[in-house]
Structure 1
Amino acid sequence: MKKMVWFAAAGVMALAACQEKAGYTIKGTAEGASDGDIVYLQNRTENGFEALDSTVVKGGAFEFKGVPDSVAALRYITYSNGDSHMAAMIFVEPGTVTVNMSAQESRVSGTANNDVMQGFMDEYKRINDEMESIYKKATTDSTLTAAQQDSLMKVLDGKEAEGTGRILQMLSENVDKAAGAELLGMFGMGFEVADVQPLLEKVPAPLASNPSLVRLKEYVDVRVKTSEGQKYTDFALDTPEGKQVKLSDYVTKNKYTLVDFWASWCGPCRREMPNVVAAYAKYKAKGFEVVGVSLDSNLESWKKGIADLKITWPQMSDLKGWKNEAAGLYGVRSIPATVLIAQDGTIVARDLRGEDIEAKLAELLK
């Protein structure tokens, strides 16, 4: 009988050993930190950071130990003392993670997802620094001729295309990992929907509930629904005078209607507006209309912007800023942004800028 008890106990212990989760160790340094200073392991929520653990700096270093509460959870190591503030993104997963924090840069390594994240960030920074160097030379070097400046800007365009391709490649290679899925959620909205959509489809089901990925998928779904060739989505907002009007009031009465998302506080919008003014003056008589949708939140600023920029076409807004209902319906995440709609309700083009507006209208309104 005793043997049976011992055998049963041994079996329970063996089962427990098999089920025991592997732990993590985070070893780090924080530049300038003094012994006795506190370093926090935190989770980021919609309401800010939430402290999960803390440790004391000893001998210029700190250490956390524990068991992951989920598979490769994204967390933050933070340190603050007076004017010194440092943070590092890390994936808490089984193994030993090394963190070196400084005011200029934090580096993380040691486990699979942290190595993926750091490698991506290093490559992203390399590409960005290279592009910034070319842009700075093209725009600030007074010894360059106009032709040389144009040549550098063409080189910059090539570098941008090359960099975009490289970043998308890295995302594609790692989207099946927690780090790759997180990076896709962080950077996905900066790429073309046609490039992002197939990457979303490659995300494994256990990672698809990542909040940033959920938001990205919602954004992609909206952009696909309002892409070229699709029927437009109607909406109703108020004019500056407080009268509610619908987008359909204009679409049905004109051959082509350009919905122009802008705001009085938006510098790029103000610089782009002369192109819209010119196109409107040239093609209004041929059946072209513009409907401005302002992402302003202040009525008087909106009205002043209309007057200052010599805008004479219809205007609409709900004065909710970035929470503008129409912007949400069309997946507008940056302005200026445009949607060109034909009289039958078909979306003809999106995000026409500069000379492209008149070129498209010349093609359509011959």
Structure 2
Amino acid sequence: MRGTLGIATVVLSSLMVGCGSNAELKTFTITGERIIVKMETQDRSSGVAENSSEDQLVANINAADEQEISVVITRNEGSTEEVTIASGTFTDDKIVLEGSVKQWPTPIDIYVSRGNEEPMKLHTALLDSETNPNFVLLDFESSDSEDRLILSGVSRMLGDDSDKFTISGDLSSIHDQNLSLAVAEVRITSENPKSISGLSVTELLLDDSKFLIEGIAGEPFLVAIGVSTFDYAYWGHVIVIVEPGAQIEISPSATSSSFVPGSFASPLLAKSQIDESLHRKVIESWQNSKKYLAKMDEYARAIEKAAQPITLNSDVLAVWDPYYVFKELQAIEFASLTSIAQSLEDPMASLLAMEIGALNWMEYSRKLENWYTLASVFEEDIVSRRVIPQQEALEKQLDVVTNAKTIVKGHSAPDFTLANLAGDEIALYDVLANNELVLLNFWASWCVPCIDKLPKLRELHSEYRNEGFEIVFVSIDDAYEDWKKGSEKHEVPGVNVGDLHGFLAETPVAYGVQSIPTEFLLNPSGTILDRDVTPEELESLLVDRFGDIPGSE
């Protein structure tokens, strides 16, 4: 969020290994830039942007209106001491820093301090003979977006070259969207790959529509790459398989369409530069097929047609065409993955196909059979890290389906004891014993429908809490900080506890929660009186039970 800024500091902390005092110094140049981003706004009621992506404003902050921003660069001497190796000051929101280190490569951290704020830190930048890091401080005018410190263009990683892989992308052929502030986000999606595995960064600003990211692969695993603009006028996605020595190149398809009506966009394509690679064997088994590429062309045409303004002569059903074509694309993909997953000709290829989503269209029991088979052909280490967690997750999903059919009106609600934000343990049946009606609400800070319900629930709780009505909110966020921030921002009323492991946490599984918000109306004995009541239905029920409260509307 843009604000008045005081002194800013960039700290580059380097780990110097095996450096002699007489070693020839290596000079480096680091560039930095500060950019203000004015995001387009959305009318939530209509979903129509007030400004098109072409009007997304990106402008340097007027330096004359800001205080001086100073920069200091340090490296580590020993375990704790930091020594300044370069310093400078932003001029017109840009800075060029020069200095020297004793060896290539040198891992560094970049810190930016602004006034009394906590320093922003950029991890795992790397100085080497090929590339010096460029960083950008993205300053968002909107208070809804947090400022970001991000590398631009290239991110390399320290490690054994024999274990390294590279993922590079070139989206310069996309001309219908402005990618000057597009970001590549990367994450490992395989379950528990070997501990030495990792990525140099999780996000990287594209430089002239291109990017390069290095990583370390202790064994083959999946990486998801998404490239998007901040307003999501463009969004492209692809899954790749990396392994030691992998070289993956990402590009749009020849007929790529970046229009996103109803969240449709042409998938990106990923090609391995190594002939005998698992990526080529698994991913390219369908991505390079004539059938898939022809369907990609059809998909792009369907997206462009759906994006056309609606007129009296428009085919109103055309908006659904991308959906139907996309399902056909998925069918091609899943047919190839299913064949690989079930053949077991190459067990690692079968494992990766399962991790991508082979057999997702089958019943849980059929998928479990395949995981049990994979467990019989791998060594114990891989089974414990990458197979058993998948089996256990599927077994929980089976429990969810079963419980959703039994935890219904007239049945007893399962008891639970969970901690609130302060760490106090709260038992559901203790709350029931002290109230006539209790609404049990499963929610998460990222759930828009959940948040939309809160104002009315907050109002009803305020009016009827002294009459014997209580609400118990169970957050299924993945992280305590997300739960805490969401609770504070949206003023969650009543009893607020968390089971912070997503849909497969013990409590939502016990209640058969398949989507959120999911709600249960309970009486003091724990009997389920109703499920998923609307705020209006709840208000009517409360009025019938307790009467109108004086002063309420």
**TM-score for the superposition, normalised by structure 1:** 0.50
Query: Higher helix proportion, which one?
Result: 1
**TM-score for the superposition, normalised by structure 2:** 0.36
